[in-house]
Amino acid sequence: MDIKKLQALVVDALEDIKAQDIRVYDTTQLTSLFDRLAIASGTSNRQTKALAASVRDKVKENGGTIISMEGEDTGEWVLVDLGDMIVHIMQPAIRDYYRLEEIWGEKEVKLGAAKRISKRTASEAAEEEAPKKRGRHLAASRAAAEAEAEVAPKKAPARKTASGAAKTATKTAVKTATKTAAKTPRTAAKTTAGKTAAAKTAAPRKTAAKTAAAPVKVKVATRKSPAKKSPAKKAG
């Protein structure tokens, strides 16, 4: 079993029976026999025995191993050997006399890091987790809003540029269409004028041609033959 989980189980079991002055020490640098040592006080023989039984039962329920238990007969000092962890449950007078903290107390473990396991039901865990989740959701929402606020000013120029390009393209198209429309009547007028002038020029030419082609009627004066003078009748 993981040493942190075992430590949490032991602390939880001691707190269930109201143990006093619980201390846990890291002994990895002092000995290779065990990694943790716990010391707790019970106000009476009955309480020290109950504390030892609570530790034993809690560890067994979670798959741990109980190596041995000593001192249950008198109840003044009960030792529970869990392999990687040794638990000393002592009455206050015995604890003050032997002062185990001075021997093993080089590196004390903060119990605030140990989690209570047995009393935490699913609903309690959910209730404890709910505020944390809400806090995480709020933090995520704030982070998203801040990120959006930072990105928005950067996006604005691009939108302005795109709209400006669209406006420029529209203006260019309008100007081109206007110029084309303006040129078209002029071109049509020029073409009409040209056709009219050409028609006028061609009209005299056609008239001249017709005149030239028409036969010229020449009146020829015919000479009347002189009337023959009839011989005058001679008077008789």
- Predicted pLDDT of residue 151: 64
User: Can you give the pLDDT of all 236 residues of the chain as single tens digits?
Assistant: 899 999 999 999 999 999 999 999 999 999 999 999 999 999 999 999 999 999 999 999 999 999 999 999 999 999 999 999 999 999 999 999 999 999 998 889 988 644 444 444 445 555 666 666 666 767 777 777 777 776 665 555 445 445 555 556 666 665 565 555 555 555 444 555 555 555 555 445 544 444 444 454 544 444 554 555 544 444 43
Q: What angle do CA 92, 97, 101 make, to 5 degrees?
A: 80
Backbone angles phi, psi at 79, to 5 degrees: -110, 130
pLDDT of residue 140: 76
How many Å separate Cα 90 from the centre of its chain? 58
Q: So what's the pLDDT on residue 221?
A: 47
Q: What does the buried/exposed string (b/e) look like for 116-155 if buried means 16 or more CB atoms within 10 Å of the residue's CB?
A: eebeeeeeeeeeeeeeeeeeeeeeeeeeeeeeeeeeeeee
pLDDT on residue 234: 44
Tokens, residue 91? 């009455």
Quick count: other Cβ atoms within 10 Å of Cβ 96?
Answer: 10
pLDDT of residue 155: 52
Burial 188-209 (b: 16+ CB within 10 A, else e): eeeeeeeeeeeeeeeeeeeeee
The per-residue pLDDT for 146 is 76
- What confidence score (pLDDT) does residue 106 get? 80
The pLDDT of residue 189 is: 46
In CATH, 3-120 is 3.40.50.720: no
Residues in the chain: 236
